[in-house]
C-alpha cells in the first residue's frame, strides 16, 4: 500500500481519519496525501468575477494556513505527508486525484462538518464512496488500538458480488489481514434453505476463486436482519473492520437481496471499508 488519501475538513472526525491513516502509513510505509476540497458559498459565487477571484484566493490561503496547524500532530512524525487543496469541490475529483497519484486507499471520517460555515464544506462520505473506484475506509471514532488483523467481509454471494470480493481479498492479503466471509440468512434477506445456501456459496467460490478451498472460511449466521447479523457476527469474532460492497449509483451497500444500506456504516462502531461493485 504505497499511497493513502485522507480527505479532511479540519473537523474532529477528519482528524480521527488522519490518525487512523497515519497508523496504516507507518505499518506499510505509505505516503499520506491529505486533501481538502475548498468550495465557495453561493453568495461568493454570485459576486463579480474580480471580487470572486480575491475571495477565492483568500479562502485558499486560509485553508493552506489551517493545514499547518492541523498537520502538526505527533502521530504524523516519520510519515511522508503531501497536503493538497482543491479550489472547487467536485466529489468525483477525489477519485481523479487518487488515479493521478496512484493511490491505494481513501480514509475518511463519517461525520465531518464545516470548518468555516458555508465556505469550507466537510467531506461527504457517501458521495466519496459513490465516486471512488478504490476502497474507502470510513472511520467513526477515535482509532484507539487501530488494527487490520481480523476483517469481516459480508456478502450475498451473488454474481455481482464477485468483483468486490476479489478486490477485498487482494487488499486484505496485502494488509496481512484475515478475511472472514459471512452470509446472513434472515427474513429481510430472502430466507433460503441450508441446501440453497450451500449451492449458492459453492457456485460463488468456484466462479471467484476457481476452487472451494475457501469454503471453510464462510460463516453462515441467522438473525432478524442482515444488518444485525453482520454486526453481531463482527462483535462475536472481535473483528477490527467490516467490509461491504457498494453500488456507485446508490452509495453504501444495497447489493443484498433483502437490502443492506447505510445502516451498516451508521450503526457500526467499527471502521467500515467499502468496495465498489
| Residue 88 sits in the same domain as residue 166 | no
Compute the C-alpha angle 257/258/264, nearest 5°: 105
Domain that holds residue 226: 150-276
Q: From 139, 160, 184, give the residue that closes a domain.
A: 139
- Residue 232 included in any domain: yes
- Residue 144 included in any domain: no
| Residue 15 sits in the same domain as residue 130 | yes
Does residue 117 carry a pLDDT above 80?
Answer: no
Query: At 63, is the pLDDT very low, low, confident or very high (cuts 50, 70, 90)?
Result: confident
Question: What mean pLDDT is reported for the chain?
Answer: 81
Report the relative pairing of strands 136-139 and 272-276 from DSSP bridges.
antiparallel
Q: Which pLDDT tens digit goes with each residue over 120-141?
A: 233 466 677 777 889 989 888 8
| Residue 119 sits in the same domain as residue 194 | no
Does residue 90 carry a pLDDT above 70?
Answer: no
Quote the pLDDT of residue 55.
67
For residue 258, the domain's CATH number is 3.40.50.620
- Residue 177 included in any domain: yes
Comparing 53 with 75, the larger pLDDT belongs to: 75
Does this model's pTM top 0.85? no
> DSSP secondary structure string, 58-123?
HHHHHHHHHHHHHT--GGGTT--EEEEEESS--HHHHHHHHHHTT--EEEEESS---SBTTTBPPP
Q: From 139, 165, 183, give the residue that closes a domain.
A: 139
Q: From 100, 117, 139, give the residue that closes a domain.
A: 139
| Residue 156 sits in the same domain as residue 125 | no
For the chain, how many structural domains are there in total? 2
| Residue 135 sits in the same domain as residue 191 | no
| Residue 96 sits in the same domain as residue 10 | yes
Quote the pLDDT of residue 254.
45
Q: At 5, which helix (H) or strand (E)?
A: strand 3-7
Quote the pLDDT of residue 86.
77
Amino acid at each position: 500500500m504505497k499511497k493513502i488519501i485522507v480527505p479532511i475538513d479540519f473537523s474532529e472526525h477528519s482528524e480521527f481519519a488522519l490518525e487512523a491513516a497515519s497508523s496504516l502509513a507507518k505499518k506499510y510505509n505509505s505516503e499520506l496525501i491529505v486533501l481538502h476540497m475548498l468550495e465557495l458559498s453561493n453568495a461568493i459565487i454570485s459576486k463579480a468575477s474580480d471580487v470572486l477571484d480575491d475571495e477565492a484566493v483568500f479562502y485558499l490561503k486560509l485553508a493552506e494556513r489551517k493545514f499547518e496547524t492541523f498537520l502538526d500532530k505527533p502521530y504524523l512524525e516519520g510519515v511522508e505527508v503531501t497536503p493538497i487543496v482543491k479550489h472547487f469541490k467536485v466529489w468525483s475529483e477525489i477519485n481523479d486525484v487518487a488515479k493521478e497519484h496512484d493511490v491505494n486507499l481513501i480514509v475518511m471520517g463519517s461525520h465531518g462538518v464545516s470548518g468555516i460555515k458555508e465556505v469550507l464544506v466537510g467531506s461527504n462520505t457517501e458521495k466519496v464512496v459513490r465516486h471512488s473506484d478504490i476502497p474507502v475506509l470510513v472511520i467513526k471514532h477515535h482509532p484507539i488500538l487501530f488494527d487490520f488483523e481480523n476483517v469481516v467481509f459480508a456478502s450475498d454471494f451473488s454474481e455481482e458480488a464477485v468483483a468486490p470480493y476479489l478486490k477485498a481479498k487482494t487488499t486484505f492479503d496485502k494488509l496481512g489481514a484475515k478475511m472472514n466471509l459471512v452470509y446472513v440468512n434472515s427474513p429481510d434477506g430472502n430466507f433460503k434453505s441450508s441446501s440453497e445456501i450451500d449451492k449458492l456459496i459453492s457456485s460463488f467460490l468456484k466462479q471467484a476463486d476457481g476452487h472451494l478451498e475457501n469454503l471453510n472460511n464462510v460463516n453462515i449466521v441467522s438473525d432478524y436482519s442482515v444488518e444485525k447479523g453482520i454486526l453481531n457476527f463482527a462483535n462475536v469474532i472481535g473483528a477490527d473492520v467490516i467490509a461491504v460492497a457498494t453500488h456507485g449509483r446508490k452509495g453504501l451497500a444495497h447489493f443484498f437481496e433483502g437490502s443492506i444500506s447505510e445502516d451498516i456504516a451508521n450503526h457500526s462502531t467499527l471502521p467500515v471499508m467499502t468496495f465498489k461493485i
